[in-house]
Structure 1
Amino acid sequence: MSLTFAPELLRAGLQPLLAAQPMSEQSLAYQRFYGLAVDGRAAPVRSWMGRFDVGGYELVNHIWLPEQPTATLFLVHGFYDHVGLYKHVINWALDHNFAVIACDLPGHGLSSGERASIDNFDEYQVVLHALFDEAQGLKLPRPWHLCGQSTGGAIVIDHLLTHGLDSPAQGQSILFAPLIRPRGWAMSKITYRLFSRFIKGLDRRFSENTNDPDFLPFLLADPLQPRRLPTVWVGALAEWIKRIEAAPRSQRSPLIIQGDADMTVDWAHNLQVLHEKFADPQVFMLNQARHHLANELPEMRERYFAFLDERLGVQ
């Protein structure tokens, strides 16, 4: 793949999302690169990008807006990810006439910040609430649905446990392979305690995290992929896990999609915690599916999208 956009130049040229800035050549090149362009859709959809400042970061946000949207999907990507990897989920939402709003988290994608790093998971909550403010300014239609993959799921979980029935997003909450604990967490904690004072980061290990044979080569060639795992992020995760596992129960009932071949998160433990923390969470287990469900094989996506269609009452 040849790079046709310059990430820093693209971000620097963006205005606030509320300005509805026409797509620049850089923005259009970005969308073409990740398959996010909407010009070929049967029903008209407007799409543009913006920039907003949150907690010392310059974050890039994205919106897709049908002519008469009936709901809004807030999309929260996973660790190492960015919005550009979520075309299948975005297209599914647009097919149901939902507006879609999302942003690249600090240190990810087109947003500023040390790559894939965060000092405290509370920073992610500040970002999510800022995204709610953006949606409010744009008068995006309700109900507001939440959707998070992996660490994005953790961000949604944190929000639901903290705000529950007081959240501005009172639609459905969709969790794809949500993170509570990663796989092998006991050993990871020991390694972190031994080496975190001396090592600032480790080289990232890319793995086959879907059954799609084309996805890993795409990740390896993706110019927005972080190449290091910062130890400070692991420390922030450790503190977050303790807080979440001690959090009081919520009356919300999220929709959880989980693959039984997921080698990234400790999904059996995580599902147990989620059953304890939420009122009647609905779990759809996907046989042979791996971790990055947003980019699993088409037949697997069809199965979990059918489950979501039924639960959301859409055709």
Structure 2
Amino acid sequence: MTLTPAPFFEDVAGGPAGGAAHWVQTSDGIRIRAGHWLPTGAASGTVMVFPGRTEYVEKYGDAAREFVGRGFAVLAVDWRGQGLAQRLLPDPRIGHVDAFTDYQRDVSAVLDLATELDLPKPWFVVGHSMGGAIGQRAAMERDCFSASAFTGPMWGIFFSSLMKPLSQITAYWGPRFGLGHKTPPTTSLESYVASQPFEGNVLTRDPDMFRMMKDQLAAHPELALGAPSTLWLREALDECKYLMAQPAPNIPCLTFLGGHEQIVDRKAIRKRMEDWPNGTLVEIPDGEHEVLMEGPDVRGPVYERIAELFSANLPNNARRTA
């Protein structure tokens, strides 16, 4: 693999010094972006951050700082169709994928990059929202992760009782009538973070983190993404059904669920974790969807518990304390 540098917006990432990004080509010819950070001295292992829909590498600069400070290397990815990765529709504001399993092509490309960069093993995965679905399948199908952690994982999508029938009709009939590249009704082409005020948002209760996300998109609007396509919605719903029907991966797992979660299906998360051998569910009473973007009093203990899990799954001679 030839390493090709990609833009990396260190001015807004807020991560540890020395962050860098590379372009990566997937097996089906899509260009995605991955960023990485390294600790000072030898790393104990590597944390692979699998972001949610609409997210991008720089959003996880704070996460990189937390893990790098504990001796881990960190690798994050812009999935196809978002961030600086190749957008898949003429209107770049629409999030799209032809098949949800295409994200596994992105995973393969990222793992190849990690190998090329000689990022140390063991490898761990932290998946948020959509990245939780991608991460679960990756852990099911590959023997590459020693432990996993998820925050608000998309193992089901939450719809109100009013919106659920409409969403089902849109997802499964829209593509049949040639509307697969259109957005579902009531959704917006504008970025949720960029257009939503802090009051009433469903992502975080911390105004500083919400402002950070807004500032990132204001400085680099090319990172922004709006609503998904109806085909993405259909593929996502089918993927959730598939994942819930499969046995959980046989690796340790720690999952965090905000008590005010309104984006993914809380019942699906609870059921999945009931069936996950060596899995633990932690519910955050005052948490919204993004517990890693909550205030320090919430996200600090979350990072600590994740780091403890990963450290417990290091070879004895590689363990390192923060």
TM tier, smaller: 0.7 to 0.9
Question: In the alignment, is residue 250 of structure 1 matched against residue 249 of structure 2?
Answer: yes
Map 1:124-273 → 2, pairs under 5 A: 124-163=103-142, 167-170=143-146, 172-184=147-159, 186-187=164-165, 188-193=167-172, 195-196=174-175, 197=177, 199=179, 200-201=182-183, 202-204=187-189, 206=192, 207-220=201-214, 222=217, 223=221, 224-273=223-272
SS of the equivalent of 2:308 reads: helix
Question: In the alignment, is residue 94 of structure 1 matched against residue 68 of structure 2?
Answer: yes
Q: How many aligned positions are there?
A: 282
Query: Quick one: distance in 2 between partners of 1:259 and 1:286?
Result: 5
2:288 to 287, 290, 304: 290
Query: Quick one: distance in 2 between partners of 1:218 and 1:251?
Result: 36
- TM-score (normalizing by structure 2): 0.80
* Counterpart residue number, 1:52: 24
SS of the equivalent of 1:265 reads: coil
Question: In the alignment, is residue 118 of structure 1 matched against residue 97 of structure 2?
Answer: yes
Query: Quick one: distance in 2 between partners of 1:138 and 1:219?
Result: 28
**Aligned partner letter, 2:242:** R
* Counterpart residue number, 1:4: none
Query: Quick one: distance in 1 between partners of 2:213 and 2:87?
Result: 20
**Closer, same or farther in 2 for the Cα pair 1:236/1:289, shift >3 Å?**
same
Q: Which string of whole-angstrom CA distances, capped at 9 and with x for unpartnered residues, describes residues 15-58 of structure 1?
A: 954x6x5x9xx64xx1112323x34xxxxxx4321111112211
**Closer, same or farther in 2 for the Cα pair 1:267/1:16, shift >3 Å?**
farther
Q: Which string of whole-angstrom CA distances, capped at 9 and with x for unpartnered residues, describes residues 182-201 of structure 1?
A: 11174322343454536411
SS of the equivalent of 2:277 reads: coil
* Deviation (angstroms), 1:109: 0.7
Q: Which string of whole-angstrom CA distances, capped at 9 and with x for unpartnered residues, describes residues 112-136 of structure 1?
A: 1224211111111111122111111
Choose 183-192 or 136-145, whichever is displaced more. 183-192
> Percent identity between the aligned chains?
22
- TM-score (normalizing by structure 1): 0.81
SS of the equivalent of 2:158 reads: coil
8 Å contact kept, 2:139–2:145: no
SS of the equivalent of 2:156 reads: coil
**Aligned partner letter, 1:135:** A
C-alpha RMSD over aligned residues? 2.3
Query: Quick one: distance in 1 between partners of 2:267 and 2:245?
Result: 18
SS of the equivalent of 1:274 reads: helix
Where structure 1 has 5 or more consecutive residues not aligned to the other structure, the ranges are 1-14, 40-45
* Deviation (angstroms), 1:252: 2.1
**Closer, same or farther in 2 for the Cα pair 1:152/1:143, shift >3 Å?**
same
* Deviation (angstroms), 1:95: 0.4
SS of the equivalent of 2:62 reads: helix
**Aligned partner letter, 1:211:** R
Q: Greater relative contact order (Cα 8 A, min sep 6): structure 1 or 2?
A: 2
Query: Quick one: distance in 2 between partners of 1:246 and 1:153?
Result: 16
1:105 to 79, 103, 112: 79
Where structure 2 has 5 or more consecutive residues not aligned to the other structure, the ranges are 193-200, 312-320
8 Å contact kept, 2:152–2:256: yes
Query: Quick one: distance in 1 between partners of 2:269 and 2:48?
Result: 22
Query: Which stretches of structure 1, 4 residues or more, deviate above 6 A after TM superposition?
Result: none
